[in-house]
Amino acid sequence: MHLIMRALLISLLVITLVSCNSSDKKKDSEKAKIVYSADWESLKQHETPEWFLDAKFGIYCHWGPYSVPEYENEWYAHWMYVNEKNPEAKNGKPSHFYTHHVETYGPLNEFGYKDFIPMFKAEKFDAAEWAQLFYDAGAKFAGPVSEHADGFAMWDSKLTKWDAKEMGPKRDIMGELSKEIRKRDMKFIATFHRQWLFGWFPTWDETTDASDPEYADLYGPKLKKGDFQYPYNPHEIDAGEDRYYPRAGKEFNDEWLNRLKEIIDNYNPDLVWFDNKMDVVSEEHRKEFLEYYYNHAENKGQEVVSTYKFYDFAKGTAVLDLERSRMKEKKDFPWLTDDSIDWKSWSHISNPRYKSTNRLIDFLVDVVSKNGAVLLNITPKSNGEIPELVKERLLEMGAWLKVNGEAIYGTRTFEIYGEGDAKVVEGHLSEEKNADNTAKDIRFTTKGDVLYAIALDWPENGELHIRTLKQGSELYQKDVASIQLLGNEGNLMFNRDTEGLKIKLPNKVGDHAFVFKINRK
């Protein structure tokens, strides 16, 4: 009887503990759930998820009807309308885009931007092939430009007929890519430029098709001559300079927000990226977007990221994104930079100038060492083919990451980003001002007790000299147990003195940045 009573008491105790534990878990779960409201302070509660902090590298692509002419860059849709009457015409002369367009396709009242849409057939587009390439390149997140400044939606939209499902390819590009990208365990992203549509086309110019009300759903609201403005320069904002800068009305703002909601509802993107000029949209609509996106993710148990440029969202509500640029120093907050594989254009053109694989890898390493991540743009042809030279560079990046990825993925920053002679020029669209790196340029990342020192070129004297890690350095007070070169077997010989850590080099391994894994005692 005593044994029976004891067994019952133990059972009751176990049930109570399990019940309490379940109750505590439920309370923790309820406590962890956040309901966001459309105000900046509430939105600052959102935290950047670990997956983004670990991912470091993503790929997206500018691809749409603007890919058809293959001329100069993705701004063709805008510059093709800049005739001698346009305020943007320099010295009263039409843009060379306009001249090329009229000579190639005819007058703008007969052949406008809308007429490129039937030519954008994407007949060779294969979502599985694209996603596999992104995966093989080492990307951890990927997706298309959902809508560029041209107003053409790359998804199956119920809000407009000017979309890829009803016109052009007659396929749900975003839907196909989201499935294939996620099949390969990558995060799916959506990128959005629609705010640029406000004034992108000269809807005031009666000599072009952009003024025809029949196409208003594509070309945007009727504005007056001169209403198209470039975004404010941040320095001008800081200086309080007052310029004429028209803002969109309620109808445009609502459409901007509703298209985003449709993307979120249909495709559940893990990251929503924005180009700049979002201040053309009301602050309330911008806050409503973040409220909707973050609450949608909370309800689905999904961890998401949104990005912004300049001052388009309040600091701390989303991840800051740079364009064709990087930081000089390590930052205490995560950030993103987007850059194109082509120095000249974000979309495919007939005469590209692609960056070298070495440049792309060095850029990635430098950005990661400063607490950033890279979103690399590629340039598919209008028929859906990815150019061979683009594929080649992506696969070379993937091969490098397969060997050296442990020094990139899941890493965190060191006390300083690195050492070397290279000086970074910061600022919007500044990347071409930055020179290539040399063997003196070394970048650091960490993972647990491991320190990675990444030399951006191979030293010719047979020794890597890291001054930062000298004996007695306050930055690295640990004793070094062993050092390996990733991709090479065995430990390397080294000496550490008051001048630095000196590593004797083996035969050269690989063609790009070289990763030295430093293990502490």
Please report the domains of the chain, with CATH numbers, ordered by start residue: 40-407 (3.20.20.80), 418-520 (2.60.40.1180)
Q: Provide the sign of the torsion angle of the four alpha carbons 385, 389, 392, 393, taken in this order.
A: negative
Average pLDDT in the chain: 93
DSSP state of 206: T
What is the pLDDT, as a whole number, of residue 17?
46
* Span 201-251, pLDDT tens digits: 999 999 999 999 999 999 999 999 999 988 876 655 555 555 567 899 999
Q: What is the pLDDT of residues 435-458, one digit of tens each?
A: 999 999 999 999 999 999 999 999
Comparing C-alpha atoms, which of 136, 1, 112 is closest to residue 57? 136
Question: What whole-number distance in Å separates Cα of residue 450 and Cα of residue 510?
Answer: 22
Q: Which of 52, 22, 21, 29 is nearest to 301 (CA)?
A: 29
Q: What percent of the chain has pLDDT over 70?
A: 92
Of 51, 261, 263, the closest CA to residue 153 belongs to 263
Between residues 7 and 460, the one the model is more confident about: 460
Give the pLDDT band of residue 16 (cuts 50, 70, 90): very low
Going by C-alpha positions, the residue among 476, 333, 497, 495 that lies closest to residue 416 is 476
Average the pLDDT over 292-298 and give the result: 98
Q: Which long-range contacts does 385-389 make (Cβ < 8 Å, 24+ apart)?
A: 385/124, 386/130, 386/133, 387/348, 387/352, 389/352, 389/354
Question: C-alpha 152: how far from its chain's center?
Answer: 20
Lowest mean pLDDT among 9-18, 58-67, 277-286, 306-315: 9-18
Distance, in Å, from the CA atom of 278 to the CA atom of 358, rounded to the nearest integer, reads: 34
| End-to-end CA separation in angstroms for the chain | 59
Is the separation of the CB atoms in 131 and 178 below 8 Å?
no
SS3 442: strand
The pLDDT value recorded for residue 218 is 98
3-state secondary structure of 192: strand
Please give the average per-residue pLDDT across 294-311, as a whole number: 97
**Residues 79-122 pLDDT 10s:** 999 999 999 999 999 999 999 999 999 999 999 999 999 999 99
Q: In which band, very low, low, confident or very high, does the pLDDT at 392 lie, cut at 50, 70 and 90?
A: very high
Distances (CA, A) of 148 to 152, 158, 227, 344: 7, 18, 19, 18
Q: Are 152 and 113 within 8 A, CB to CB?
A: no
3-state SS track over 470-512: CCCCCCCCCCEEEEEECCCCCCCCEEEECCEEEEECCCCCCCC
